[in-house]
Amino acid sequence: MASIAPVIDISGYLAGDNSQIPKITAEIDRAFRTTGFFQLVGHGIPQSQIDGMIQATADFFALPDETKRKIHGKMRGYQSPELRESLSSLAKEGFFIGRHLPGRNRPIVEGNLWLKEEEAPGFRKTIEEYFAAMEKLAVILLRLIALGLGLEETFFDNFAKQPEGAVLMRVHRYHPTLPEEGDDVVGLEAHADTSGVTILYQDGIGGLQVKNEQTGEFETIEPVRDAFVINLGNMFARWTNDNYLAAEHRVLLPTDKFRYSAAYFMAGWLDQVIECLPQVLKAGESPKYETCTVEELVTNFRKEIYDIHTPGATAYVTVEES
């Protein structure tokens, strides 16, 4: 059986070797049709930058609770474990950042929350630089996806590059289970992402699992040190009429050490209209989803999440940038 997340090397494309494009785009197309996940190597982001991001994340979460809570937020800043009632209090902490767009009053485009430099030396710079690297990688990925779908290479450029975009990154610390809890404790429940494409880095601990559509079983994606795990969110299910999978995935808690990961969600330009691409429809098929905008999808998602888990919470936090 094919791997649940095949390793795909895009270095040929990045080096400008056009002869590599058909092979790479066909591999990506196959992965998204069969499992919705692949592991990306040859992406050009130095391992030292990735390791630095993981170290900065670990240092941030190691700060005292009261320091982290100074920047407690919902879609930006520190997310303590209790924000999601469905998880055990020890399961997972997060820190969210998104695009920095001061002066825009549009919901979803919010200000980031940072500690003072002396409270978390180097954290902001490291995370912002990694986020910027993800922004570039997302454009590259979307170009390869466009080619694989038989579209113009730049088809998704506006989606990715228009500044007013729902583009977020969350770094996580998953806490080890208590001895009496055993293995197989779910720390992040099964979900599909609300994104176009998600670029995830998981450290070497493991625990990320994807639901196999054929068997219904969750299968583990083994960490590959220099690879990003790439998956599609529900926007591509809509664009491709479910030919590309927005696969369900979850995370099992580690058993003896913290696990760190970083998930960058390219949910794109708020005014992007998402409608079924005519290229994917076979004779006699019709679109399964209503046409909608990114803003509608993301707003609905946030309402669902925050109204369910934190009654009374608003879908957005609008924060003045310091």
Closest approach of Fe ion to the CB of residue 231, in Å: 7
Q: For residue 249, state whether it binds ligand AKG (rule: CB under 6 A).
A: yes
Number of residues that bind Fe ion (CB under 5 A): 1
Q: For residue 170, state whether it binds ligand AKG (rule: CB under 6 A).
A: yes
Closest approach of ligand AKG to the CB of residue 20, in Å: 29
Q: For residue 193, state whether it binds Fe ion (rule: CB under 5 A).
A: yes
Q: For residue 56, state whether it binds ligand AKG (rule: CB under 6 A).
A: no
Angle between helices 47-61 and 123-148 (to 10 degrees): 130
How many residues are recorded in the chain?
Answer: 322
Q: For residue 31, state whether it binds ligand AKG (rule: CB under 6 A).
A: no
Give the residue among 189, 205, 202 at the shortest CA–CA distance from 91. 189
| Nearest CB to ligand AKG, comparing residues 39 and 261 | 261
User: Contact region for Fe ion (CB under 5 A) — 125-133, 141-149, 186-194, 280-288?
Assistant: 186-194
User: Contact region for ligand AKG (CB under 6 A) — 19-27, 41-49, 60-68, 200-208?
Assistant: 200-208
Q: Which residues contact 185 (CB under 8 A, 6 or more apart)?
A: 88, 177, 252, 253
Residue 202 interacting entry, from Fe ion, ligand AKG, none, C-beta within 5 to 8 Å by type: ligand AKG
Cβ-closest position to Fe ion: 193
Q: What Rg, from alpha-carbon coordinates, does the chain have?
A: 19
Q: Which residues pair with 92 in a beta bridge?
A: 174
Closest approach of Fe ion to the CB of residue 260, in Å: 15
SS3 318: coil
Torsion angle in degrees (nearest 10) through CA of 215, 221, 227, 228:
70
Closest approach of ligand AKG to the CB of residue 75, in Å: 13
Q: For residue 200, state whether it binds ligand AKG (rule: CB under 6 A).
A: yes
In terms of C-beta density within 10 A (0-12 exposed, 13-18 middle, 19 or more buried), how is residue 17 classed?
A: exposed
